[in-house]
Amino acid sequence: MLAFLIDEDLPRSTARELIKAGYRAFDVRDVGLRGKGDNEIFSYCQANKMVLISADLDFANIIRFPINSHGGIIVLRFPNEISNDMANKELLASLNNLKEAEICGRLIIVEPGKTRLHKYA
């Protein structure tokens, strides 16, 4: 089963909602990574075989974080006006429609009503 690390630019409710839905999820603020840089968060995910979930567009840079060089990166792209509850529902809907093999090593962009899967660099 995949484990997810939720970046601190997302609400704490994201990890809670994933856990309630049966996923293994951890918040960076609870694993000693609050305020840490992208490279340290990425390294933690790699060392612990975790999928990173973030709203930080830097993680969508496939030159810096090449596809198939990690356990998976999910970048959430929601307008500021969307509620945390709605964002969490959109994320869960995307995860429920993806197979584990579609997540591992891939860059996934989740937007309202749409999930884009980047399989190749």
Give yes or no for residue 121 having a pLDDT over 60.
no
Model confidence, pTM = 0.95
Tokens of 82: 């969307």
Question: CB atoms < 10 A from the CB of 45, how many?
Answer: 25
Q: Helix 13-20 crosses helix 84-96 at what angle (to 10 degrees)? A: 40
Q: Cα(53)–Cα(76) distance, rounded to whole angstroms?
A: 7
Q: To which H or E segment does residue 102 belong?
A: helix 100-103
Residue 71's pLDDT is what? 95
**pLDDT band at residue 97 under the 50/70/90 scheme:** very high
Helix (H, G, I), strand (E, B) or coil at 44: helix
Mean pLDDT of 58-79: 95
Give yes or no for residue 119 having a pLDDT over 90.
no
Cβ neighbours of residue 97 closer than 8 Å, sequence gap 6 or more: 115
Domains of the chain (ranges; CATH) run 3-118 (3.40.50)
Residue 1's pLDDT is what? 82
* pLDDT above 90 as % of the chain: 96
